[in-house]
Amino acid sequence: MIGGVSGVRSKKFVLAAIADAELPLPQTMKLSEKALLYRELTKLVGSDFHLDRSIQLLLNQNPSHARLTWLLGLQRGLGEGKNITESLTAHCDSFTSTLELALIDAGERSGRLADGFRHLARYFEAWDVATRQALGAMIYPLVLAHLGIVLPELPAFVTASMQGGTASLRSLLMPLAVLWLILLSSFLLWRWLSRLGAASAAVDLWLGRIPLIGSVRRHWALARFAQVFHACLLASMRMTECMTLAGAASHSGLLRRASQDAARRIAAGETIAGAMADVHGFPLVFVHGTATAEETGTLDHEMNRWAASETIEAGDAVQRAAQWLPKIGYGLVVLYVAYRIISMMSGYYGGMLKSLEAG
């Protein structure tokens, strides 16, 4: 019993020490960790647990470093008299997205904080599943690409060993280095363009036209927009504020600009659907659905429906990309292997012809 009390005290001492120390915040939190975090908060807050009590219960579950820092940052901000959004902005802003801040802020204002956490849990669960599917689909093409580079070079190694010579590894390592350089450069370029597309309408429009990948971006952006708009409606925010916050949380430069333009038109007296129809960026079917919902007074239900359906559509788009991108990778690998085989055979037979001509 004494050991158990000592362990609890030690744990509380460690948590207090971490809270007092200015630890560097983790720059990212895994999607699965965010889904777990918001799922647990949904259960606790939805069961009428006070937020302070909910945080303490989650701290007692030995959370990962990222979740621990997030919870301690929130706890510290609440202790300073800040609200939830202000606490996260002050202490966890480096890895709390605009979408999270918008949904939590709307949930806090409306008194439906559990609904905001539930939206985030579903969103990050769907995003995590989609990401795993995409990465899993690319494993086999990557393995095939490595084999396509290594296998054509094996005959040269065998020939050199049979002739008593020493085969150079340069012919093998250089193509592998080029492959990884291309992969790393493509990843960094896409990451930069994605971040740029979140603020630039022109870049976002161009990214949306990329086959397979563009549809994924469009569906996720509209799902985020509808989620935040729905939460803002429940919080009884002004329509201009709903539009602006939803556009900022969409991570789409096109929707951000369209939302800002629509907000100005709404402030000038236009209807929501009318303002959305007059600007470029919103899908026409989304505008029509908003128009009928605005007339019938069911705009909150319409936005909730769009958030759910666009999340499903985004998942389906990821599955389509996961089916076709590996096939494109297979085709590139086959072309490279065919090129290497043709080059090798032409060099081999070319050498034989030169020997015959010299003889």
**Is 159 part of a structural domain of the chain?**
yes
Q: Tokens standing for 32?
A: 């699965």
pLDDT at site 157: 65
Question: What's the total number of domains in the chain?
Answer: 2
Residue 208 and residue 257 in one domain: yes
Residue 151 and residue 83 in one domain: no
**Rounded distance, CA 27 to CA 115, Å?**
26
Q: For 306-340, what is each residue's pLDDT tens digit? A: 998 998 898 888 888 877 877 777 777 777 777 76
**Is 117 part of a structural domain of the chain?**
no
Structural domain boundaries, residue 23: 11-96
Residue type, 114: A
Residue 329 and residue 182 in one domain: yes
Residue 88 and residue 144 in one domain: no
Q: Tokens standing for 233?
A: 């409606």
Mean pLDDT value across residues 79-104: 88
Residue 215 and residue 352 in one domain: yes
Alpha-carbon torsion, ordered 305, 128, 317, 208, to 10 deg: 90
pLDDT at site 166: 57
**Is 126 part of a structural domain of the chain?**
no
Residue 153 and residue 276 in one domain: yes
Residue 86 and residue 208 in one domain: no
**Is 118 part of a structural domain of the chain?**
no
Residue 351 and residue 231 in one domain: yes
Q: State the DSSP string of 163-212.
A: TT----SHHHHHHHHHHHHHHHHHHHHHHHHHHHHTT-HHHHHHHHTSTT
Residue 156 and residue 299 in one domain: yes
**Is 264 part of a structural domain of the chain?**
yes
Contact between 276 and 262 (Cβ < 8 Å): yes
Residue 85 and residue 195 in one domain: no
Residue 79 and residue 223 in one domain: no
**Is 214 part of a structural domain of the chain?**
yes
Give ∠ CA 58-62-64 in degrees, rounded to 5: 95
pLDDT at site 322: 76
Residue 91 and residue 140 in one domain: no
**Is 181 part of a structural domain of the chain?**
yes
Q: Which pLDDT band holds residue 78 (cuts at 50, 70, 90)?
A: very high
